[in-house]
């Protein structure tokens, strides 16, 4: 009998926060958490422990939830929802309120990708921040947009045209002291400088 394959990569704890008044009150079924979990399972090779949360569009609640996930040891926290211009959309404000560092390139790239599909991408206000040793990224609210911004744009042959934001996530997590994340290249090829690439188990 063949021995079970052991995953050589370090485990990673990932917080997933879906921000929605209607989903959190049971008016409709949340699609944000399942969409993020399904994409991450396709893209990431590491063993993952998910910390899912479904909460309302309340700034204090969002900030408190993000802090809870940071303190729980999540190396990465992804949020979905609440990033538009509507009065109840306060996810960016709640995220910036607990930031130690702001990472504007993530939001810029997400809007650039989404502009290839809809002109209203300029209304999106996604931000990304670092709190302690946790990278927190606000993503769009629709499952299709989530996958597009994480994965990027490809031509009809599957060749990457514009990298998705997740290509930069593993190296960012490296730099803030998190676990070494490896991805499935067919879904999303992580980019690292040559000096940061290693065969797992060896020092960089």
pLDDT one-digit tens code per residue, 150-187 = 999 888 877 778 889 999 999 999 999 999 999 999 89
Residue 202 has pLDDT above 90, yes or no: no
Band (128; pLDDT cuts 50, 70, 90): very high
Say if residue 65's pLDDT is above 80: yes
**Separation between Cα atoms, residue 190 and residue 63, nearest integer Å:** 29
Superfamily of domain 12-196: MoaB/Mog-like domain (3.40.980.10)
Amino acid 203: pLDDT: 45
Q: What pLDDT is recorded for position 19? A: 96
- Tell me what percent of the residues of the chain surpass a pLDDT of 70: 95
As a whole number of angstroms, the distance between CA 65 and CA 17 comes to 8
Average pLDDT, the chain: 93
Contact of 121 with 163, CB cutoff 8 Å: no
Q: Where are the domains of the chain?
A: 12-196
Q: How far is CA 104 from CA 63, 171, 178, in A?
A: 19, 16, 20
What's the confidence (pLDDT) of residue 161? 82
What does the alpha-carbon distance between residue 88 and residue 58 come to, in Å, rounded to a whole number? 8
% the chain with pLDDT above 90 = 80
Q: Please give the average per-residue pLDDT across 66-72, as a whole number.
A: 98
Q: How confident is the model at residue 20 (pLDDT cuts 50, 70, 90)?
A: very high
């Amino acid at each position: 009998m063949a021995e079970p394959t052991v995953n050589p990569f370090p485990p990673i704890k990932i917080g997933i926060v879906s921000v929605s008044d209607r989903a959190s009150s049971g008016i409709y079924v949340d699609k944000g958490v399942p969409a993020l979990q399904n994409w991450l399972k396709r893209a990431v090779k590491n063993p993952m422990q998910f910390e899912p949360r479904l909460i309302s569009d309340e700034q204090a609640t969002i900030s408190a939830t993000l802090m809870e996930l940071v303190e729980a040891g999540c190396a990465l926290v992804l949020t979905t929802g609440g990033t538009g211009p509507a009065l109840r959309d306060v996810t960016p404000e709640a995220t910036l309120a607990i930031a130690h560092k702001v990472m504007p390139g993530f939001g810029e790239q997400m809007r650039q990708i989404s502009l290839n599909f809809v002109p209203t991408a300029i209304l999106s206000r996604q931000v990304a921040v670092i709190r302690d040793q946790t990278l927190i990224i606000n993503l769009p609210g629709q499952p299709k947009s989530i996958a597009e911004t994480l994965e990027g744009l490809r031509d009809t042959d599957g060749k990457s045209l514009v990298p998705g934001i997740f290509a930069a996530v593993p190296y960012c997590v490296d730099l803030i002291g998190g676990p070494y994340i490896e991805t499935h290249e067919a879904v999303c090829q992580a980019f690292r400088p040559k000096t940061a690439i290693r065969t797992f188990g060896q020092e960089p």
